[in-house]
């Protein structure tokens, strides 16, 4: 497989002068993805948004580049990169299209990450090469009555002679329509509450698993968001993921990492919106000169850029801490909370700089604005991030400066 040369799994072989300064390998990795996004993804953005699906062949092209298995080891057909590499990829693609970035994000920060940490050797051998080659993995946790309260789930698993039987309904499952495999959470022992939650790997073609209605969303429309139904869905014993009753632990830990991925998505989106706003401000003329020469527009662009740089520091810091084995739960929650706010503000200001053109679909500003809103909702709402931050800080009374 021809793929990107991912950067070293260590943050850098030489001291970095700042969190946002990249090593030479990281710069090459980032520039390759930016070039791919500009040349391959950008011409397809409007079509994919209108048709609400990924362009044919796009996932295959991303797999050839190594983007569908960034942390999958070389020997299993992946790019052999780091978590930070995944973050760089999500950021770079999001500057062009947050919908396409989402499939890269979920594939790597949630699914590949989960398989590498909790999957058996046989499961890793079975699924990781296929995922690196372009098979999409979908993460099926949420339900109609189980959103922020993720463990109030009603999907049930029962032991059978040869494995398990699942019944229930998942909702708001990203990339469900395109998925070849699902990482599914169900309660095997409801009397035990969240300690009964168990995870399973389920092939999309398994009888009893049905991908249902696709949501008609405001933003990130190319990425499918569907309900997934389980009706006497038989799961072989070898598809148990991790241990019985440990699904809650898997979900909590991987979502902490996934929040950094959403931070990277929102960071890239904000940067893309700023890039378009800055270019437009230098082209659009009023009163005989480009609007970029007016102080009010300059100040707006300066404020946007300042917030983006602060957001980048938070995303990179959280990702580097994760790769270094340092505590990062608080940083991940802060990152998702803050960067999603920045993305929404920057996208809104982008629309205003475009003026009337920002409100019509002929220009890119309105799509950035539509795509930004989800950042404050999925993989933990802003209120849930605030609750996590407060809990972490109050239960560990140490100043952030000492972390």
Instruction: Point out the residues that are catalytic.
Output: 379
Q: Quote the CA–CA distance of 150 and 123 in Å, as a whole number.
A: 25
CB 277 within 8 A of CB 350: yes
Distance CA 150, CA 252 (A): 9
- Three-state DSSP state, 114: helix
Kindly calculate the radius of gyration of the chain based on its CA atoms and give it in whole angstroms. 21
Collapsed DSSP state (helix, strand, coil) of residue 325: coil
Q: Which two tokens stand for residue 332?
A: 């991940």
Contacts for 187-190: CB closer than 8 Å, 24+ residues apart: 187/153, 187/154, 187/155, 187/156, 187/157, 188/156, 188/157, 188/158, 188/159, 188/164, 188/244, 188/245, 189/244, 189/245, 190/156
């Amino acid at each position: 497989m021809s793929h990107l040369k991912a950067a070293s799994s260590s943050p850098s072989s030489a001291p970095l002068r700042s969190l946002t300064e990249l090593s030479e390998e990281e710069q090459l990795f980032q520039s390759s993805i930016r070039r791919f996004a500009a040349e391959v993804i950008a011409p397809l953005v409007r079509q994919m948004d209108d048709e609400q699906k990924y362009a044919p062949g796009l996932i295959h092209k991303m797999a050839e580049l190594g983007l569908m298995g960034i942390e999958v080891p070389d020997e299993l057909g992946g790019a052999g990169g780091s978590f930070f590499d995944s973050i760089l990829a999500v950021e770079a693609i999001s500057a062009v299209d947050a919908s396409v970035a989402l499939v890269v994000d979920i594939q790597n920060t949630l699914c590949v990450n989960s398989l590498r940490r909790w999957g058996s050797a046989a499961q890793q051998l079975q699924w990781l090469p296929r995922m690196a080659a372009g098979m999409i993995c979908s993460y099926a946790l949420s339900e109609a009555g189980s959103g922020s309260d993720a463990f109030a789930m009603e999907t049930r698993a029962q032991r059978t002679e040869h494995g398990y039987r699942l019944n229930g309904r998942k909702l708001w499952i990203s990339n469900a329509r395109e998925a070849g495999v699902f990482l599914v959470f169900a309660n095997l022992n409801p009397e035990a509450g969240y300690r009964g939650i168990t995870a399973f790997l389920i092939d999309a073609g398994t009888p009893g698993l049905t991908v249902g209605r696709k949501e008609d969303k405001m933003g990130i429309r190319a990425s499918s968001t569907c309900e997934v139904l389980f009706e006497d869905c038989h799961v072989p014993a070898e598809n148990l993921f991790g241990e019985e009753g440990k699904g809650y632990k898997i979900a909590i830990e991987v979502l902490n990492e996934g929040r950094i991925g959403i931070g990277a998505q929102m960071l890239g989106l904000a940067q893309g919106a700023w890039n378009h706003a800055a270019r437009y401000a230098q082209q659009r003329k009023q009163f005989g000169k480009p609007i970029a020469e007016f102080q009010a527009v300059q100040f707006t662009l300066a404020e946007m850029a300042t917030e983006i740089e602060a957001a980048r520091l938070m995303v990179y810091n959280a990702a580097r801490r994760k790769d270094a084995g340092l505590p990062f739960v608080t940083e991940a929650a802060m990152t998702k909370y803050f960067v999603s706010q920045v993305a929404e503000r920057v996208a809104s200001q982008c629309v205003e700089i475009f003026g009337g053109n920002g409100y019509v679909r002929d220009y890119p500003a309105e799509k950035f604005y539509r795509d930004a809103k989800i950042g404050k909702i999925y993989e933990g709402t802003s209120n849930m991030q605030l609750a996590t931050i407060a809990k972490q800080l109050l239960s560990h009374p140490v100043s952030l400066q000492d972390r």
